[in-house]
Structure 1
Amino acid sequence: MACGGNCSSCGDKCEKKPLKENLHSGSSVKKVIGIVSGKGGVGKSLVTSLLACKVNKDGFRTAILDADITGPSIPTSFGLGNVRAESVSEKNSDGSEGGYLKSVKSKSGIQLMSMNFLLQNETDPVVWRGPVISGAVRQFWTDVLWEDVDFMFVDCPPGTGDVPLTVFQSLPIDGIIIVSSPQQLVRVIVEKAVNMANMMNVPVLGLVENMSYVKCPDCGKEIKVFGESNIGKIAEEFNLKVLARIPIEQNMSAAVDKGEIESLDASFIEEAAKSIEVL
Structure 2
Amino acid sequence: MQRGLPQKRGIRDVRKVVAVSSAKGGVGKSTIAVNLALSFARNGHRTGILDADIFGPSIPTLLNLSGEPRLSSNNQLVPLSNYGVKSMSMGYLIPEASPVAWRGLMVMKALQQLLHEVDWGGLDILVLDLPPGTGDVQLTITQQVNLDGAIIISTPQDLSLKDAIKGVNLFQKVSVPLLGLVSNMSAFICPACSSSHPIFGSPAHISEMCREHQLRLLGEIPLHPSICEDADRGKPTVVAEPESERAKKFEEIATAVGKLVGL
TM-score (normalizing by structure 2): 0.91
Consecutive unaligned residues in structure 1, runs of 5 or more: 7-17, 91-98
Q: Which residue of 1 aligns with 2:109?
A: 135
CA 1:74–1:243 in structure 2 vs 1: closer, same or farther (change >3 Å)?
Answer: same
The answer to whether 1:5 aligns with 2:7 is no
The answer to whether 1:104 aligns with 2:104 is no
Distance 1:204 1:252 in 2: 26
Q: Quote how far apart the aligned CAs of 1:240 are.
A: 1.0
CA 1:246–1:201 in structure 2 vs 1: closer, same or farther (change >3 Å)?
Answer: same
Consecutive unaligned residues in structure 2, runs of 5 or more: none
Q: Which amino acid aligns with 1:87?
A: L
Q: Which residue of 1 aligns with 2:221?
A: 246
Distance 1:271 1:233 in 2: 22
Distance 1:255 1:148 in 2: 29
Q: Quote how far apart the aligned CAs of 1:134 are.
A: 2.3
Distance 2:109 2:189 in 1: 43
Q: Which amino acid aligns with 2:248?
A: S
Q: Quote how far apart the aligned CAs of 1:3 are.
A: 6.3
Alignment of 1:1-279 (within 5 A): 4-5=3-4, 18-21=6-9, 23=11, 27-80=12-65, 82-88=66-72, 90=74, 99-106=75-82, 108-119=83-94, 121-229=95-203, 230-261=205-236, 262-265=239-242, 266-278=247-259, 279=261
Q: Quote how far apart the aligned CAs of 1:84 are.
A: 2.0
SS at match of 1:60: coil
**After the TM superposition, which of the residue ranges 132-141 and 38-47 deviates more from structure 2?**
132-141
Q: Which amino acid aligns with 1:276?
A: V
Q: 1:57-116, CA deviations, whole angstroms, 9 ceiling, x for partnerless residues? A: 011111111000100011101111x322112354xxxxxxxx11101111x221100001
Distance 1:141 1:218 in 2: 46
Distance 1:133 1:264 in 2: 36
- Cα contact 1:252–1:264 (8 A) shared by 2: no
Distance 1:248 1:176 in 2: 23
Q: Quote how far apart the aligned CAs of 1:228 are.
A: 1.4
Distance 1:77 1:4 in 2: 41
Q: 1:25-60, CA deviations, whole angstroms, 9 ceiling, x for partnerless residues? A: xx4100000011121111110111010011110111
Q: Quote how far apart the aligned CAs of 1:4 are.
A: 4.8
SS at match of 1:87: coil
**After the TM superposition, which of the residue ranges 242-251 and 183-192 deviates more from structure 2?**
183-192
SS at match of 2:185: coil
User: Quick check: which has more Rg, 1 or 2?
Assistant: 1
Q: Quote how far apart the aligned CAs of 1:155 are.
A: 0.5
Q: Which structure is higher in helix share?
A: 2
Q: Which residue of 2 aligns with 1:10?
A: none
Q: Quote how far apart the aligned CAs of 1:149 are.
A: 0.6
Q: 1:7-30, CA deviations, whole angstroms, 9 ceiling, x for partnerless residues? A: xxxxxxxxxxx533564xxx4100
Distance 2:76 2:2 in 1: 28
- Cα contact 1:205–1:241 (8 A) shared by 2: yes
- Cα contact 1:205–1:275 (8 A) shared by 2: no
TM-score (normalizing by structure 1): 0.86
Q: Which amino acid aligns with 2:4?
A: G
RMSD of Structure 2 on Structure 1 (CA): 1.6
SS at match of 2:207: helix
